[in-house]
Structure 1
Amino acid sequence: MTYQLLKMLHVAAVVAWLGGSLFVSLFLLSSQPQDGDEAPKERKMLRALRRWTLFVTTPAMVLTWLVGLHLAMTFGWFAMSWIWVKIGFALALSALLGIQSAALRRMADGSARRPPLVDLYAPFTVVASAAIVTLVVVKPF
């Protein structure tokens, strides 16, 4: 029973983390630095999204890591190769959230610069997530 509860908590945290990360990706992609009347609305939305990322998405990422590492240690998955590939993808997704958070902060503070490689944030999140799910379900090696 405990295993199912931990697995459910892990999956729920993953959904919150990756959903938040995808939302930030799409918002950064569609947002344009504004001057004039639209600038305050854009900055207000950026600040709200930054708070959401700080208080929901980032804690979900941390919870995902804590529960996932606990499960891996408990069930001896570190002896299997697939878990290391999964951890590599999870580290990349964690780094992406950090990049997104920094971009939100800069844009909320009034930066007119477009974040680098912003067009790739959402596709990378989807591909990395699909790879992780495949590794967990199939355990190919």
Structure 2
Amino acid sequence: MAHQWLNVIHLITGMVWLGGLLMMAVVVVACGAGNTSNYISLLAQVRRWSRSVTSPAMLILWACGLAMIVSHGGGLPLWLILKIVVLVVLSGLHGMLSATLRRLAEGQNKPLRPFIRYTPWIVVLATALIVLFVKVGHVIG
């Protein structure tokens, strides 16, 4: 029963985290393209949301996921390893976007890294990969 509740919390926090991460990516791309002074209020609001909702959701997601892995025991199937790799990449992207949001909100108009404009698509693609890995993993075994 505890495993089922961990899974429910894992799924809910995953949706919250990925939604927040997508919002961060879109706002960074939109606001980083021009004069950030026009977007200071929006950037501050997104930063607050990220610190109070998106980041804690990521931490809870990881905690529940790791707890389910430990409680299950045994080796890790390939689909789960692939999912974890994608989650590590997304966690790194979250950190990078958080730092970029902070710099933009502080009015630092440094040019964004070129690949930043693709981060919304990276989040969407990574989310699709996670769903695919989980679905295939449950079908196969």
Q: TM-score, normalised by structure 2?
A: 0.88
- 1:53 and 2:50 aligned: yes
Measure the CA separation in 2 of the matches of 1:34 and 1:27: 13
Measure the CA separation in 1 of the matches of 2:126 and 2:23: 16
- 1:129 and 2:130 aligned: no
Q: CA deviation at 1:63?
A: 0.4
C-alpha RMSD over aligned residues: 1.8
The answer on whether the counterparts of 1:78 and 1:84 sit within 8 Å (CA) in structure 2 is: no
1:118 paired residue among 96, 99, 116? 116
- Aligned AA (1:17): W
- Aligned AA (2:118): L
- Aligned AA (2:119): Y
Report the CA distance shift for 1:114/1:77 in structure 2 as closer, same or farther (over 3 A).
Answer: farther
**Percent of aligned pairs with the same amino acid:** 31
Q: CA deviation at 1:81?
A: 2.0
Measure the CA separation in 2 of the matches of 1:67 and 1:121: 26
Unaligned stretches of 5+ residues in structure 2: none
What residue in structure 2 maps to residue 85 of structure 1? Answer: 82
Number of residue-to-residue matches in the alignment: 137
The SS at the match of 1:79 is coil
Measure the CA separation in 2 of the matches of 1:24 and 1:108: 12
Q: CA deviation at 1:20?
A: 0.3
What residue in structure 1 maps to residue 72 of structure 2? Answer: 75
* 1:21-79, Cα deviation, whole Å (9 max, x unpaired): 000111111114427xxx2x511221111111111100000000000011111113643
Moved more, 91-100 or 79-88: 79-88
Q: TM-score, normalised by structure 1?
A: 0.88
Unaligned stretches of 5+ residues in structure 1: none
- Aligned AA (1:119): R
- Aligned AA (1:15): M
Q: CA deviation at 1:86?
A: 1.0
* 1:97-133, Cα deviation, whole Å (9 max, x unpaired): 0000000010011111242112211111111111111
- Aligned AA (2:26): L
Measure the CA separation in 2 of the matches of 1:77 and 1:106: 43
Report the CA distance shift for 1:96/1:78 in structure 2 as closer, same or farther (over 3 A).
Answer: farther
The answer on whether the counterparts of 2:17 and 2:55 sit within 8 Å (CA) in structure 1 is: yes
